[in-house]
Amino acid sequence: MSPKDNSLKVFDVANFDMMHMIKLKFSPELCEFVHRSSAFSALLAVTQVEAAVVHIIKAETAEGQVLKVLKDLHFAMIRTIKYVPQLNLVVSSDQSGMIEIWDPETFELPESLDFNLVIDTDLLEIAKSKTFALSCAASNTGEFMAFYTRDRKIRVFSIKSGKLLRTIDDSLQQYIDY
């Protein structure tokens, strides 16, 4: 991915081969494959530099066919995006600390979750703390999601319930106050 020349390069890592070079009409910031392993087409979620937009792109073609542009998913610059294959869902977060969970096929809140509204979860905890995620990771089982945030804390959530399970404070402040 190169924001300088607005391109996306797809590599076959096992064979050391560049499969496609996709020219984009925007500058890419983050990308993540967001399809099932059995899917007919490889789909990429690509965020745009300095924008709250996610482009869903078909990765097999050099033209990089844009299947969907998600403009109302986030209202601030997107900072992290992670596909959880065990649950076939995507977790993304933005500069304002908001976390969104969405289905990569319907682009709606997945039905497999134990909640219908984000307000019924702890997913607003990062935004309430006036910070944002710098990185995110999902467990191998797809049960948990961890965010490392700007305030130097790691917050671990249950993906299905959206509940905050643990906060690990990595800041120096905890030692100063001791």
Summarised one tens digit per residue, pLDDT across range 93-111 is: 999 999 999 999 999 999 9
Here the tokens at position 118 are: 């984000």
pLDDT band of 70, cuts 50, 70, 90: very high
This prediction has a pTM of: 0.87
Domain ranges of the chain: 1-72, 77-178
Phi, psi of 128 (to 5 degrees): -60, -30
- What pLDDT, on the 0 to 100 scale, is given for residue 177? 59
**Does the pLDDT of residue 178 top 60, yes or no?**
no
Neighbours of 115 (CB within 10 A): 15
pLDDT band of 115, cuts 50, 70, 90: very high
Class of residue 123 by CB neighbours under 10 A (exposed 0-12, middle 13-18, buried 19+): buried
Question: Mean of the per-residue pLDDT values for the chain?
Answer: 89
Q: Percentage of the chain with pLDDT > 90?
A: 63
Q: Which of the pair, 26 or 39, is modelled with greater confidence?
A: 26
Helices (H) and strands (E) in the chain, counts: 2, 13
Residue reference for tokens 């908001």 = 98
CATH class of segment(s) 77-178: mainly beta
